[in-house]
Amino acid sequence: MGFLDKFKEITNRVLEVENNIYNEKRDYLEIYERNQQLEKEIAERTSELHDANRRMLTLQHIWDMMNSSTPLENVMDAIVNSTQGELGYMHCVIIRKCVDEEGDFCRIIAQSKDNLIDRLNNIIGAPSIQTRRLSYSDNSIFSDTFNEKKIIQTKDLDLSLKAVLPQLSQEKITEILSNQPIKSIIVIPLMPREQNFGWFCVFSSREELAPAETDFLNLFAKQIETAITIADLFQAVREEAVKDALTGLYNRRYFEESLNKEVARARRQGTPFSVIGIDLDFLKKINDTYGHSFGDLAIKTIADILKSNARSIDVPARIGGEEFDILLPGIPSEGAMIAAERIRKAIERKEIDTIGHITGSLGVATFLEHTSNAEELLELTDQAMYSSKRNGRNQVTLAKSMSETSWQEIAVNTFIDILSKNRVPMAQRLSKELCQKLKDSIDEGENRQNALYMVADMLTKLYNPMHENGVVRSKVLMAVSLAKRFDLPKEDVDNLRVAVLLYDIGNLMISPGLLQKATPLTDDEKATIKNHPIIAAQKILKPISYVQDILPIIEHHHENWDGSGYPSKKSKDEIPLTSQIILIVDEYFALIEARPYRAKMSGRDAIEIIKSDAGKKWNTTLVNEFISLLEHDIV
């Protein structure tokens, strides 16, 4: 091989080496560039995962709040502040769409705490944006989100601001939008259960909305909608617990709770409040003439009138079948009389299909004017209402101060007499304890009825261990409501109250073993038990002078309408109506209570048994009114 050939061979090898080096260098560059790209993508994905993790933690935090019965306003505050603070938005706000007699409008229910809102309030002046009535237009981004059911982002900040604050001048709007970092507003519709609730608005420093951001905001909106739905359901359940099913007014329990709160406030501040009592006139006649459905219609009509005449702070309630009370905070007797007369006239003017016009009898009593005792206040209201009935109905009567001895005082003194003089056999320690509770109720002027019910329940348990606390109170309420359906005079109703507390006290003189016997009674044992009304009336109560008018009620409370009862075999109108009322009320509660010889019955089964004895144990009219009372679920 010559020199040239050798040189060419070496040159080719050098070129080959250079080519290999070049190719390897290119491969290394490609690998380096790919690594750079991968590192960039890894950094981006890490950032996205970090953002997603923050968002999920925020959602989890809000979900935990919703599952812990946190109030809706607190959940809303957490949502706007988490979104603004953790996710980098400039401002967040939740706006609700509302409607009233003036039409549609908006109001802010939650907004994030940041300098932006303070700046806005300083520019627009009072009232602040939080408390303003904001406008709503069918031609705005807000209505568009409802119509299209989707998120809308806008860069037209001035139009969005004008949509809710059209009264602002262009100069103010320019000042608000100048020198601030907001580039767009993202409006997310809130439509829980397909209802147009409002909007979740996000103020962003970015002009574009990334797809992942859209997905997240949609997810956030669903959480808000879930929170709203939960709150609505909770409110519905709460209202069912405190509202009367027929009328939608507050029930007796809520009224009594509100009354106790108002009493505490009135004593603390020294300001009076009033109660108006209303009784629908001639409900029995309406039921008998047109049927109970029209009686219900008349009751609902009065309820609607009370709602339309009540202030937002008033508490209108259905207390009994046709009885209503309205609590008027801060209103003295003069104002309450004006309000009562306005209600009376509204009832009188109202015409109902088929029935025609109805009327109501009203009574008014005022705390700190007529009495400083809550129980007496209701008693005085009741007395004034009954005065309106006795004096011709369809009128308003103002209560008089409690001057005569009330039925509670008679009952308290009677129990104290029985216990202190050992008129019934019982442990000395228990007798002294119950006596002291009754005396304390007199000295303190409070909870007299509660003390009476407690003592009556305790005495009943001595001969009936299965008796439940609270039953005596329910019996009194039921008996009084039934008596009022027959327009009995107040004196008779008061005597009935005391009689319900005392009618079975004769059982304390009978062997507990006999009363609790699970096997059939002998004739002699039956005769012993049947003697308890005479024992109560003649042996225990007769020596007590101030209950003489009550003795006939107790003595004859086991007489049957057909004359088959005891102890005197009286029949029909020979039996005091108040005695018949006690008999039917006692029978009902006996049936729904457990006994040693049988399990307790359902209310429906008890009613069927009472129906079967109509015309035998009690007259048919009484049975019909009693069943109607239970159907209205008033106690």
Active site residues: 322
Pairing mode, strands 198-204 and 91-100: antiparallel
Structure tokens at 350: 């109202």
Task: Indicate the DSSP class of residue 166.
Answer: T
In degrees rounded to 5, what are phi and psi of residue 558? -115, 15
Identify the H or E element spanning 107: strand 103-111
Amino acid letter, residue 105: F
The DSSP string of 463-490 is H-TT--TTHHHHHHHHHHHHHHTTT--H
End-to-end Cα spacing for the chain:
127
- 151 Cβ neighbours under 8 A, 6+ residues apart: 145, 186, 187, 188, 189, 209, 214, 217, 218, 221
Burial 264-303 (b: 16+ CB within 10 A, else e): eebeeeeebbbbbbbbbbbbbebbeeeebebbbbbbbbbb
The strand pairing partners of 315, in sequence order, are 327
| d(C-alpha 582, C-alpha 558), whole Å | 9
Instruction: List helix spans (H) across 270-373.
Output: 283-290, 292-309, 333-349
Q: Hey, what are 557's tokens?
A: 């409370």
Question: Which element (helix H / strand E) includes 588?
Answer: helix 577-592
Which residue do the tokens 């981004």 mark?
A: 141
Residues 6 or more apart from 368 whose CB is under 8 A from it?
A: 266, 270, 271, 272
Residue 334: both structure tokens together = 């003069």
Sheet containing 273-280: give its strands across: 315-318, 323-328, 273-280, 360-367, 396-398
**Are the beta carbons of 452 and 446 closer than 8 angstroms?**
no
Nearest to 117, CA basis, from 104, 106, 132: 132
Q: Is the peptide bond between 596 and the residue preceding it cis, with omega within 30 degrees of 0? A: no
Q: What is the DSSP string of 282-311?
A: THHHHHHHH-HHHHHHHHHHHHHHHHHH--
Cα gap 500→472, rounded to integer Å? 8
Answer whether 402's CB lies under 8 Å from 380's CB: yes
- The single-letter code of the amino acid at 476 is V
